[in-house]
């Protein structure tokens, strides 16, 4: 499954091979696409990779190894990218709004206004309604057709950094207590369990029926920034400790640790060919 790939970087719109690195047996081989890279990632329906940067969204063809297009407009430090069911791309902006983009030409399709501070997370209900969490401490449910607010969910005392929709279609209705610092990432496992990654360095697997902790996944030495369920059911995590870990969620053990980033790993996704992509402010690595 795992093959050797070269590194490559962005030279404007052209991509050139930089160098090859040898990895230890516990690492994937990786491709690197330059310095000063980004803060967020999303895989588009066509297989291209969206990268949220300091002031724009770049769309990369990872097969041809070149940048296809960049989206501009009220963007700064793009922390949130969400691919919607119809293939559109949603992102946060440089204000208290978020946008939906036409991925073909980078034009704005819709803008959602109503939060009082930055939008930190976006998810989508099965009916097409969008849900956003904000630095203002609120969660809003939006009518996607007219960009209006359908419901305000108030109850958090601080910033809402992440959201997840459970298998029954609900947002979590209970208050789950166990972490000792902010929760930065949430997702739902194939069996319906909820997983949370925190600034406290710990990943927790929760029973959503009674709110109890089923497992603590301990191994990162700094903040857990993002989580991903792989196609085989394993859990991937990336951290401020500059590493990526693959976990067996059945026994809670680390199956593999990848190192190679030179800064905090902020996001991780799985490409259509099964490879992983991870991003930091200094580089974007593709691992296979």
Instruction: Determine the pLDDT at residue 155.
Output: 87
Tell me, what's the pLDDT at 259?
A: 92
Token pair for residue 205?
A: 């697997």
Element (H, E) at 238: strand 235-239
Provide Rg for the chain, Cα atoms: 18
Report the alpha-carbon distance of residue 251 to residue 271 in Å, rounded.
26
210 alpha carbon, distance to own chain's centre: 27
Cβ pair 214, 206 in contact under 8 A: yes
Phi and psi torsions of 146, nearest 5°: -125, 10
Going by their DSSP bridges, the two strands 108-112 and 98-101 should be labelled as: antiparallel
Spacing of C-alpha 92 from chain mean position: 13
The confidence score (pLDDT) of residue 36 equals: 55
pLDDT value at position 71?
Answer: 94
| Residue 283: closest CA among 227, 246, 244 | 244
Do the strands 40-43 and 108-112 form a parallel or antiparallel pair, or are they unpaired? unpaired
pLDDT < 70 positions in the chain: 1-36, 173
pLDDT score, position 170: 87
Domains of the chain: 1-32+167-288 (2.130.10.10), 40-163 (2.130.10.10)
Handedness of CA 228, 190, 246, 185 (dihedral sign): positive
Instruction: Give the model confidence (pLDDT) of 135-163 as tens digits.
Output: 999 999 999 999 999 999 998 889 999 99
**Which secondary-structure segment (H or E) carries 70?**
strand 66-71
pLDDT tens readout for residues 74-84: 898 899 999 99
- Per-residue confidence (pLDDT) for residue 190, from 0 to 100: 94
Q: Is the dihedral of CA 20, 24, 29, 34 positive or negative?
A: negative
Q: Which residue has the tokens 């009674």?
A: 210
Other Cβ atoms closer than 10 A to 147: 17
Closest CA to 185 of 282, 98, 100, 266: 266
């Amino acid at each position: 499954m795992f093959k050797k790939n070269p590194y490559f970087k962005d030279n404007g719109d052209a991509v050139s091979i930089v160098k090859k690195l040898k990895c230890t047996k516990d690492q994937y081989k990786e491709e690197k696409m330059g310095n000063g890279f980004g803060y967020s990632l999303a895989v588009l329906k066509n297989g291209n990779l969206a990268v949220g940067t300091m002031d724009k969204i770049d769309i990369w063809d990872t097969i041809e190894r070149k940048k296809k297009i960049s989206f501009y407009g009220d963007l700064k430090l793009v922390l949130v990218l969400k691919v919607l069911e119809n293939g559109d791309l949603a992102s946060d902006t440089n204000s208290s709004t978020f946008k939906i983009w036409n991925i073909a030409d980078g034009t704005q399709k819709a803008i959602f206004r109503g939060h009082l501070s930055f939008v930190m997370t976006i998810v989508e209900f099965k009916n097409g309604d969008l849900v956003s969490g904000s630095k203002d401490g609120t969660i809003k449910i939006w009518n996607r057709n007219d960009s209006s607010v359908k419901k305000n969910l108030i109850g958090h005392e601080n910033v809402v950094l992440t959201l997840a929709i459970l298998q029954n279609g609900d947002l979590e209705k209970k208050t789950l207590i166990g972490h000792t610092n902010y929760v930065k990432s949430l997702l739902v496992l194939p069996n319906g369990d909820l997983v949370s990654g925190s600034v406290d360095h710990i990943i927790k697997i929760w029973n959503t029926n009674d709110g109890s902790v089923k497992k603590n996944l301990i191994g990162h030495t700094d903040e857990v920034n993002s989580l991903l369920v792989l196609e085989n059911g394993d859990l991937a995590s990336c951290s401020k400790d500059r590493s990526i870990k693959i976990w067996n969620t059945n026994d809670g053990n680390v199956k593999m640790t990848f190192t190679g980033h030179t800064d905090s790993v902020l996001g991780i996704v799985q490409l259509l060919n099964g490879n992983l992509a991870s991003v930091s402010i200094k580089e974007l690595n593709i691992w296979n």
